[in-house]
Structure 1
Amino acid sequence: MKKYSIMFFVLITTAMNAQWDKTAFNIAYRFTGRNVVQAGLEFKANIAREQSLIIGASMLYTSINHKDQFLPEANMYYTNIKGQLLGVSANPYSIEPRIGFSLFNFMYLNTGYALPIHREKYFKGITFGVQFNIAPVKNSAFYDRLKMM
């Protein structure tokens, strides 16, 4: 656990040195065979307005065998101007490919399938989630803009 916490704080420090206008805090709820709450940082890796490549690091909070657990997670999302979302996330227990909808990179509604990679299959099966991304600066480049005719 200590090793994962150190890795998480190294990722946060790296993101803090990144451009603030392309960074956002995330908070999410997912059901992956169990209730999971997520918080972390997201970074928009490109500057295109029509599509976005978002990478992030988060901590998951869940209860496993009646014990509170904090698990690190890395994720990557691709979104386009039509609001389509493709993504994948990985944590110590599963890899989760996802599809869904993005509302200007502010809110993600997604579903996917958790593929267990650990002999203890805590996360498995169909997943559902909602995620909110909150940019720390005004007029953030993280959010997609509405294209007017």
Structure 2
Amino acid sequence: MKKYVILFFAFITTVLNAQWNKTAFNIAYRYTGRNVLQAGLEFKANAAREQSLVFGVSMLYTSVLHQDKFLPEANIYYTNIKSQLMGVSVNPYSIEPRIGFSLFNFMYLNTGYAFPIHKEKYFKGITFGVQFNIAPVKNSAFYDRLKLM
């Protein structure tokens, strides 16, 4: 567990030194066989308006057998101008490919399937979730712009 926490904080430090206008905080709710709350950071790797490649790290909170669990997670999302979203997330218990919709990179609505990779199958089966990305600066390059004719 110590390795995951150290990697999480190393990534946060790297992102904080990067450009703030491509970074956003995320807050999410997901159902992956159980209720999960999520908070973390997202970083938009490109500057294109037509498509986005977003990398992120988060901490998941869930209750397992009446015990609180905090788990690290890494994810990657691709979105295009048609608001289609594809991505995958990995945590110590599962790999979750996802598809869904993106609203200007501000809100993600997604569904997918959790494939367990641990002997304790806390996360398995069909998943769905909603995620909000909140940029810390005004006129952030993280959000996609509405293209007007």
TM-score category (smaller protein): over 0.9
Question: Residue deviations 1:113-135, cap 9 Å, x none?
Answer: 00000011100000010000000
After TM superposition, the score normalised by the length of structure 2 is 0.98
1:126 corresponding residue in structure 2? 126
Q: CA RMSD in A?
A: 0.7
1:23 corresponding residue in structure 2? 23
1:101 corresponding residue in structure 2? 101
1:111 corresponding residue in structure 2? 111
| SS of equivalent to 1:43 | strand
Identity %: 84
Q: For residues 74 and 59 of structure 2, what CA distance do their matches in structure 1 show?
A: 9
* TM-fit CA distance, 1:2: 2.9
1:49 corresponding residue in structure 2? 49
Q: For residues 136 and 52 of structure 1, what CA distance do their matches in structure 2 show?
A: 18
2:60 corresponding residue in structure 1? 60
Question: Residue deviations 1:70-90, cap 9 Å, x none?
Answer: 000000000011100000000
2:85 corresponding residue in structure 1? 85
Instruction: Give unpaired runs (5+ residues) of structure 2.
Output: none
1:133 maps to a residue whose letter is: N
Question: Residue deviations 1:6-26, cap 9 Å, x none?
Answer: 221111111101110000000
After TM superposition, the score normalised by the length of structure 1 is 0.98
Instruction: Give unpaired runs (5+ residues) of structure 1.
Output: none
Q: For residues 63 and 18 of structure 1, what CA distance do their matches in structure 2 show?
A: 34
Alignment: residue pair count = 149
